[in-house]
Copies of this chain bind each other. A is one copy, B any other.
Amino acid sequence: MKKPVFNFSPGPAMLPAEVMLQAQNEFLNFQGTGMSIMEVSHRSAIFQQVIDKAEADLRKLMSIPSDYKVLFLQGGASTQFAMIPLNLMRKGKAVFLDTGAWSQKAIAEASKYGQTHIVASSKDSNFSYVPSFEKEEIDQEADYLHLTQNNTIFGTRIHSLPVSGKVPLVSDMSSMLLSEEVRVEDYGLIYAGAQKNIGPSGLTIVILREDLIGYAQYSCPKMLNYQTHVDKASMFNTPPTFPIYMTGLVFAWTLKEGGVKAMEEKNMAKSSLLYEYLDQSDFYRPDIASPHRSRMNVCFHTPSPELDIALAKFADEEGCKFIKGHRSVGGIRASLYNAMSIEGVAYLIEILKQFKRRA
């Protein structure tokens, strides 16, 4: 019998099977036009409907208030690391919570454009937890407080949002957007690369409050100025049309499946199942302590680096793809984005049990 394939890639990651089938079916002939959606002008009515529906569905999914803009951009979170300070650093200072590689990249970029202050860091323990801090520790004159809300590499998650006073929260939600409910009103700006929960790579979603727009530094490249994209509704230049189309299909699927609340419940069930197995095991060791654990990226180790490698290979052969940990952490990482089924997680646990017996 052919083995099942369950894709635990940290991103680009698996997409819902229904979405993939629909995209394949209409790949050569989109809605009877005789053309692929990939082949039509972004200025056509055909594509305009696609992007408009994608935005409307995302607004519905996240209950995005009307004073927030939604942008479909390129360049990934790495481009946002520069775009955010170039646009938001009006007073020239920003505060960061340092929870690992992504935070640090954001800090390094922001340092070119203004002052940066790290309010708390878990560097001392190789980012195995999310450090806490008090509102009083945040300079109330800062332009923003930056968070990596879920850390894909270390498998941490910020479980309670810090109170920042009048300082807007800026959150990198790359590996958690639409995986759990968030109150958009609590943020000044939310950004995410699409290639985790919501679509293929090559698309970046930015949700930002209107009053933060229009203050870019003079040297800010036009393409890195939020105002440029707000003025032209994400069509200042040719957008990544196929990734937007795919992401739109995922948004529609997410709505059909019950929305973000349903995803959150499913994601809690999936991650709990796996963490519970790991916690009771005398063989596997989860990297992160309970309150700081990501629901998206479950990171753990076997008793040795050699066994980690052997497990990743064994799991791959058995149909559990891409569970090798990030090169900077080692070990094992299973990414359980929205499209991963509970059956996939149960199957992974079976494979972990088999490997343990063999080891």
The smallest beta-carbon distance between A213 and chain B, in angstroms, is 19
Cβ of A248 to closest chain B Cβ, rounded Å:
14
Q: Is the CB of A240 within 8 A of B82?
A: no
Complex contact A238–B201 (CB within 8 A): yes
Is A261 interfacial (CB-CB < 8 Å)? Answer: no
CB of A322 within 8 A of CB of B40, answer: yes
> Per-residue 0/1 for A260-289: is the Cβ within 8 Å of any B Cβ (1 yes, 0 no)?
000000000000000000000000000000
Pairwise interchain contact B238-A76, C-beta atoms closer than 8 A: yes
The answer, yes or no, to whether A14 is at the interface (CB within 8 Å) is yes
Given contact pairs A74-B76, A75-B75, A82-B223, A5 touches B23 in the complex (Cβ within 8 A) = no
Which residues of the partner chain B approach A322 to less than 8 Å between Cβ atoms? 40-41, 44
Residues from 20 to 56 in A contacting B, C-beta threshold 8 Å: 20-21, 23-24, 27-28, 33-36, 38-42, 44
For residues 188 through 205 of chain A, which have their beta carbon under 8 Å from a beta carbon of chain B? 193, 195, 200-203
Are A74 and B74 in touch, CB under 8 angstroms?
A: yes
Query: Out of B203, B219, B242, which one reaches A219, CB within 8 Å?
Result: B219
Q: List 7 A-B contacts (CB under 8 A).
A: A40-B322, A41-B322, A74-B76, A78-B222, A81-B223, A108-B222, A242-B242
Contact A237 B76 (CB under 8 A): yes
Q: Which residues from chain B contact A12 at a C-beta distance below 8 Å?
A: 38-42, 238, 241
Are B14 and A23 touching (Cβ within 8 A)?
A: no
For A218, list chain B residues within 8 Å (CB).
112
- Which B residues lie within 8 Å of A222 (CB)? 78, 81-82, 105, 108-109
Report A234-259 CB contacts with B as 1/0, cut-off 8 Å. 00111111110010000000000000
Residues of chain B with a CB closer than 8 A to A352's CB = none
Closest 9 pairs (CB-CB, A-B): A202-B240, A82-B221, A5-B34, A74-B74, A78-B237, A24-B27, A202-B202, A79-B223, A9-B41
Q: Decide if A41 touches B76 in the complex (CB within 8 Å).
A: no
CA distance A24 to B315 in the complex (A): 28
Cβ contacts under 8 Å, A243 to chain B:
202, 240, 242-243
Residues in B whose Cβ lies below 8 Å from that of A242:
200-202, 242-243
A33 contact from B5, B13, B223, Cβ within 8 A: B5
| Complex contact B21–A28 (CB within 8 A) | yes
Further pairs besides A13-B39, A240-B240: 12, Cβ < 8 Å: A5-B33, A11-B41, A15-B39, A21-B28, A42-B201, A74-B75, A78-B237, A105-B222, A112-B218, A113-B219, A201-B239, A221-B221
Residues in B whose Cβ lies below 8 Å from that of A28: 20-21, 24
